[in-house]
Structure 1
């Protein structure tokens, strides 16, 4: 029979980095936390923490043990939540963040549809292009676009986006159409937040530094500049696809189109994905796909 003594105390200390904070979380004394951890280390014959007067650090063995313990506790919490929420309508607060333009145009209408289905939910949504800290700011979910950098977050791919390099027919008539990546040097490239554009060449990803006299941190503004013949832009499909279909923008460098990027739902690794958040993630994936 597995001995559970000390496991919840160990996980609490590992996640908070403090015996005192862990005791407050568990609503027990610091001395009890310390006793349980010491007993657990003795039973395992393994040191789980490095302790100083100012800091508590998880050992390498402790990290391995924590991952397994967290999975087990998550499974137990999942079982309890499943039972208690089986017959319940999702309710409570959902705090979400998403990129500004994509959030306003694509995510907000879907969130409103979701709230219409489940009116007992309280929605708190913030649109920003800044990478906010989900844990520190209490977010349940974040929508992110493109390549993911933060490996400490769990991610579910909701959909894909495609990047297009395009210009107006008038611009191409006046300046010619580029057929090689090297020819971008001869064109006015409408720049966004990055100084380079992503391409595929010879089956490999390649970043090409571009330059031009217009710089916006707004996809809509770049789209407007391209439509008015001011240069070439590389923009996601949701900005330019309808203009390409209408012929008001022309796609170029099609042989070098980069691989599709992900549209992601992110949530903290150590925060259980509650049923209401899971339902929202599934709903967004279904609608965005």
Structure 2
């Protein structure tokens, strides 16, 4: 007898409470189940069950063995389910949240491409600059940027992200370009959604609190203010790249640029990742890395 046969029979007996119910679930006879459990006990050299005419109870050793065997069988079933999920088409509701500007420019077109590939999905896109609660608010995936905070969520790095401290040529005609972080105190710093800027000094993360006479929670508005010479701004690459290439903005303090930042997909920590989430995250990672 394969020990696995005995384990399956033993777990079924404990879960269902009787040999007859276990036999029915396994589609064999009660005597066959009883024989498998007895042979398993002989192989292990210890009793697993107390049998009476009225009930079945676990021995101390049986209770320990059951917990381990149950986890093993559950793991095998999850492995089979995961394999089956690979072979099935994703379907059902797929809800995704992302920051507004980045989501509209980069994520929405990719999700639409993904939807063309899997039209049976019911896609819900939600753009907001606040951090949503995935489980409480019913989202499957959120796209987040920068440095992730510790959480119970799983995260997949989709692509790198860089942040620049920038100012316009007109601004630097009035003010000397800063060469050290301490010089930021002498500049008008345009404040976005955070009043501290992130840097890297001697390989360590450092946040510098900044201030100025302009504040806003819109990336495009912050970009426009910097281009018009109102002050310095810290902007991610997807805002600053085109303006830097055209010469509308000039990057400073590059040697302090924080490098450990990225675009992430985060999703709840389920025991089995659904095919729709796995396929979407794989698709976004491939396309964004291009």
Aligned to 2:124, the other structure's residue is in SS state strand
Task: Decide whether the 8 Å contact of 1:6 with 1:39 is kept in 2.
Answer: no
Q: Deviations over 1:205-240 (max 9, x none)?
A: 211111101111111111000000000000100000
- Residue 177 of structure 2 is matched in structure 1 by 177
Aligned to 2:229, the other structure's residue is in SS state coil
- Residue 112 of structure 1 is matched in structure 2 by 112
Aligned to 2:264, the other structure's residue is in SS state strand
- Residue 142 of structure 1 is matched in structure 2 by 142
CA displacement at 1:130 relative to structure 2: 2.1
Distance verdict in 2 for CA 1:6–1:199, change over 3 Å: farther
Q: Distance in 1 between matches of 2:83 and 2:73?
A: 15
- Residue 78 of structure 2 is matched in structure 1 by 77
Q: Distance in 1 between matches of 2:200 and 2:251?
A: 15
Query: Unaligned regions of 5+ residues in structure 1, if any?
Result: 10-37, 47-61
Aligned to 2:179, the other structure's residue is in SS state coil
Task: Decide whether the 8 Å contact of 1:5 with 1:40 is kept in 2.
Answer: no
Aligned to 1:135, the other structure's residue is in SS state helix
CA displacement at 1:74 relative to structure 2: 5.8
Matches within 5 A, 1:85-100: 86=87, 88-100=88-100
Q: Distance in 2 between matches of 1:285 and 1:101?
A: 19
Query: Unaligned regions of 5+ residues in structure 2, if any?
Result: 17-56
- Residue 280 of structure 1 is matched in structure 2 by 280
CA displacement at 1:82 relative to structure 2: 2.6
- Residue 28 of structure 1 is matched in structure 2 by none
- Residue 242 of structure 2 is matched in structure 1 by 242
Aligned to 2:131, the other structure's residue is in SS state coil
TM-score by length of structure 2 reads: 0.74
RMSD (CA atoms): 2.8
Q: Distance in 1 between matches of 2:81 and 2:12?
A: 20
CA displacement at 1:280 relative to structure 2: 0.8
Distance verdict in 2 for CA 1:152–1:84, change over 3 Å: closer
Q: Distance in 2 between matches of 1:6 and 1:94?
A: 39
Distance verdict in 2 for CA 1:90–1:219, change over 3 Å: same
CA displacement at 1:138 relative to structure 2: 2.2
Matches within 5 A, 1:18-167: 43-44=62-63, 69=71, 73=74, 76-83=77-84, 86=87, 88-167=88-167
Q: Distance in 2 between matches of 1:42 and 1:210?
A: 63
Could you say which structure has the larger radius of gyration?
2
Structure 1: 4+ residue segments shifted above 6 A: 6-9, 38-42
- Paired positions, count: 240
Q: Distance in 2 between matches of 1:79 and 1:96?
A: 27
Distance verdict in 2 for CA 1:178–1:84, change over 3 Å: closer
Q: Distance in 1 between matches of 2:111 and 2:268?
A: 20
Q: Distance in 1 between matches of 2:110 and 2:135?
A: 24
Q: Distance in 2 between matches of 1:205 and 1:42?
A: 52
Mapped pair 1:217 → 2:217: yes
Q: Distance in 2 between matches of 1:8 and 1:248?
A: 70
Distance verdict in 2 for CA 1:92–1:176, change over 3 Å: same
Aligned to 2:287, the other structure's residue is in SS state helix
